[in-house]
Amino acid sequence: MAISNKTTGIRQQREQLPIAQGKDAIVREISTNDVTIVLGETGSGKTTQIPQYLIESNVINGRIAVTQPRRVAATSLAARVSQEQGKPLGSLVGYSVRFDEKSSHATRIKYLTDGMLLREMMSDPLLERYSAVIVDEAHERTLRTDLVLASLKTILKTRNGDIAKKAGKQVGENPLKVVVMSATLDAEKFSLFFDNAKTLYVKGRQHPVTIYYTTTGQTDYLDAALRTFFQIHLDQPPGDVLIFLPGQEDIENLNSSIRTHAARLPIGSPDIVVRTLYASLPNEYQSKVFTPAPQGVRKCILATNIAETSITIPGVKYVIDTGKHKEKRHISAAKGRGADALLTVDITKSSAVQRAGRAGREGRGFCYRLYTEESFNKMPLSSEPEILRTDLTTALLQLKCVGQDMEDIDFMDRPDDVAFHSSLQTLLFLGALDRHRGLTELGRQMAAFPLDSEYSAIMLASISFRCTSEILAILSLMSASSPLFPDSSTEREAASEVRAKFGHASGDHITWLNVMRAYDEYGTHSADRRAWCRANFVSERALRDASDIRRQLQDMCEKVGIDWQVSAGQDVAPILQSLAKGLLLRSALLRPDGTYKQSFGSLEIRIHPGSALADRRSPAIVYNELVTTTRTYARGVSAIPKAYIASLSIPIDAPQTT
Ligand code: CDP
Ligand code: MG
């Protein structure tokens, strides 16, 4: 019978994973220790198996949270593990990521992003709904992973340690198990942080991988990747190819060039299937990367660094490593406030080693590094923890809401005072904190929405400016996972024609609103909508995504008694006023040479060529974000009356300490 065959197949697969041999030891150690560090090679089975072992052996009788830095990892791992358990997703095994959740009362293993776990702490500060928390991919040291680790240390003291005793509670009434899992070998730091916690090592299966370097540096990594792929495809024996790229845009571009070239191959060349994997990939496409290609067909997977350690794709024999990834970095300004920007930068040595390792999981492999050996040798060993190089505003506000002050928290790495101050200033400016650093009612309301503090501030401002309906549409599009208009320069022209139709002189935000309005009015027939989106060069996915997000934000508004139907009609002034409320620290003023200068900082900014305002000179602008290539560009830009900057700004000085 097909079904029982499938389950036996899965059982066999589970038993053959390298981790299966260590099952008893792992279960034993976790049952005897409060905190356990598990190190193991990627693909050995840590993430999928350890939660199941803990449930199956009854070491954990309650619920287990497994945190992931990326949403696509959380959703796809949950899908895999519920399949292994033979249960529908959302029953025994579920997931929770921002704007999407599949879990129920029956859920005992929940994969969730570290950000969602922090959010759950706002209503459950001691995470009492969980008996165990597994912090996965800890080596990535994302801001939120660090916040989770720090919070767990505090929670452990209360739930397992002396504080529980003092409060008259029996220790062990509802103790917490913590498991920290990491792919690289810097376990010592995690172990030290948790008072010399026990460290377990899981051996993986790793075959030798031959590494090739380029002899000269590559200026165009997409072109180099394309050429290398076809060399492998035409000259090398069967085996799938995994190409590491920085982001979705590169992935989509390379995807289309590979398809174009594949169509021109001589007759008789083997076929190619291309699969993509990146953070915002919709759930329905995720499982496709795991499906083996038919006999004689070569699968080519285009992935971001999500395939480095979070997700193991079987069948890979060749890895092409562009040596690049995207990283959020703080660009500091000579004076005043800097800004966060998403940059494409060189990877670290440990990433390069992980990427190469993906080729050797099932047999001898080959890794083509599109950079020189000298560049490899110069790479830093591992990247700096995100907490040391990113904006802390939203994190700070969340901690405030669970009654913790950043000053009092024991972090693995402490952010410096400058970063800390600038975030406090932002919160003060947004009205989330008062001058004594106390949380205001507004601050509490802001934190309740799953949005960055600035966006929450816009949302709350829309209540008094009476345009919540419009602001929800705009914020939803700003939070959607793909951009509304195509971002590649080739399609930009088509997009700019569309923008002319929907465009508004004030800039991108109202233009987006107009597109969303037109989409809303277009009816509910999905085929019609699809055709409409294609004809208008707008991303249907962005609009569908945004509609989902808007629905969730509307629900949240209803829960807290905000009337989301209030509309400003055709009047755009209130909308711009609301936007300015949240984005004013991201404002800039026009200079005579046509560039802009931050109003609260000294960075020189240009308007991104994809923006509706790209060819205009507006005296004052606000923007959603900065991207830096050789220059710094503002994306998501609206022109605002210059007077807003004067009228809305409050003197920004350091908040007083109490
Ligand atoms: O966490 P770790 O890197 O140690 O391994 P894992 O993620 O638990 O993966 C164990 C195995 O499950 C690998 O062979 C994966 O290819 C497989 N897997 C899968 O087939 N489908 C998924 N959606 C996730 C994992
Ligand atoms: Mg894993």
Q: Is 46 a residue whose pLDDT tops 70? A: yes
Q: Ligand 1 pocket: which of 46, 48, 139 to mutate (most atoms <8 Å of CB)?
A: 48
Residue 626 has a pLDDT of 87
pLDDT band of residue 571 (cuts 50, 70, 90) is: very high
Closest ligand, as measured to the CA of 49: 1
Same domain for 234 and 192: no
Letter string b/e over residues 593-628, b meaning 16 or more CB atoms within 10 A of that residue's CB: eeebebbbbebebebbebbbbbeeebebbbbbbbeb
Among protein residues, the one whose CA lies closest to atom 10 of ligand 1: 45
Same domain for 458 and 367: no
Q: Ligand 1 pocket: which of 312, 316, 358, 362 to mutate (most atoms <8 Å of CB)?
A: 312
From ligand 1's centre to the CA of 545, what distance in Å?
28
Q: Can you tell me the mean pLDDT for 183-191?
A: 85
Q: Can you tell me the mean pLDDT for 370-386?
A: 94
Give the 3-state secondary structure of residue 512: helix
Is 439 within the bounds of a domain? no
Same domain for 213 and 160: no
Is 440 within the bounds of a domain? no
Letter string b/e over residues 264-283, b meaning 16 or more CB atoms within 10 A of that residue's CB: eeeeeeeebbbbbbbbebeb
The string of pLDDT tens digits covering residues 65-124 is 999 999 999 999 999 999 999 999 999 999 999 888 999 999 999 999 999 999 999 999
The ligand 1 atom nearest the CA atom of 42: 3
From ligand 2's centre to the CA of 549, what distance in Å?
28
pLDDT band of residue 6 (cuts 50, 70, 90) is: low
Q: State which of 110-119, 274-283, 393-402 shows the largest mean pLDDT.
A: 110-119
CB 574 within 8 A of CB 466: yes
Closest ligand, as measured to the CA of 358: 1
242, β-bridge pairs? 301, 319
- For the whole model, what pTM was predicted? 0.88
Closest ligand, as measured to the CA of 44: 1
CB 583 within 8 A of CB 591: no
From ligand 2's centre to the CA of 181, what distance in Å?
8
Q: Can you tell me the mean pLDDT for 412-441?
A: 90
Element (H, E) at 302: strand 297-303
Which residue shows structure tokens 């002034």? 573
Among protein residues, the one whose CA lies closest to atom 20 of ligand 1: 290
Is 501 within the bounds of a domain? yes
Same domain for 281 and 176: no
Question: Which residue range is the domain that position 182 belongs to?
Answer: 2-202
Same domain for 95 and 168: yes
Give the 3-state secondary structure of residue 626: strand
pLDDT band of residue 167 (cuts 50, 70, 90) is: low
Is 98 within the bounds of a domain? yes
CB of residue 77 inside a 6 A radius of ligand 1 = yes
Tokens of 11: 């059982």
CB of residue 507 inside a 6 A radius of ligand 1 = no
Is 433 within the bounds of a domain? no
CB of residue 80 inside a 6 A radius of ligand 1 = yes
Is 135 within the bounds of a domain? yes
Among protein residues, the one whose CA lies closest to atom 8 of ligand 1: 45
Closest ligand, as measured to the CA of 202: 1
Tokens of 118: 């922090």
Residue 622 has a pLDDT of 96
CB of residue 467 inside a 6 A radius of ligand 1 = no
Among protein residues, the one whose CA lies closest to atom 21 of ligand 1: 80
Is 405 within the bounds of a domain? no
Residue 169 CB partners (closer than 8 Å, separation 6+): none
Residue 499 has a pLDDT of 76
Same domain for 255 and 112: no
Domain boundary among 344, 365, 383: 383
CB of residue 48 inside a 6 A radius of ligand 1 = yes
Report the distance separating Cα 287 and Cα 516, nearest Å.
30
Domain boundary among 181, 202, 223: 202
Among protein residues, the one whose CA lies closest to atom 22 of ligand 1: 80
The ligand 1 atom nearest the CA atom of 311: 7
From ligand 1's centre to the CA of 31, what distance in Å?
24
Same domain for 174 and 308: no
From ligand 2's centre to the CA of 39, what distance in Å?
10
CB 243 within 8 A of CB 289: no
Closest ligand, as measured to the CA of 67: 2
Pick 197 or 498 by higher pLDDT.
Answer: 197
Same domain for 164 and 132: yes
* Pairing of β 365-369 and β 316-321: parallel
Largest CA distance in the chain: 78
The total domain count for the chain is 3
Same domain for 625 and 497: yes
Residue 249 has a pLDDT of 84
The string of pLDDT tens digits covering residues 437-448 is 899 999 999 998
CB of residue 315 inside a 6 A radius of ligand 1 = no
Same domain for 562 and 468: yes
pLDDT band of residue 368 (cuts 50, 70, 90) is: very high
Q: What is the DSSP letter of 556?
A: H
Q: Can you tell me the mean pLDDT for 613-625?
A: 93
Residue 203 has a pLDDT of 86
Domain boundary among 383, 399, 431: 383
- Percentage of residues in the chain having pLDDT higher than 90: 65
pLDDT band of residue 4 (cuts 50, 70, 90) is: very low
Same domain for 544 and 512: yes
Is 269 within the bounds of a domain? yes
CATH number, domain of 63, equals 3.40.50.300
Report the distance separating Cα 51 and Cα 46, nearest Å.
8
CB of residue 40 inside a 6 A radius of ligand 1 = yes
Tokens of 415: 């952010």
From ligand 1's centre to the CA of 237, what distance in Å?
25
Same domain for 346 and 218: yes
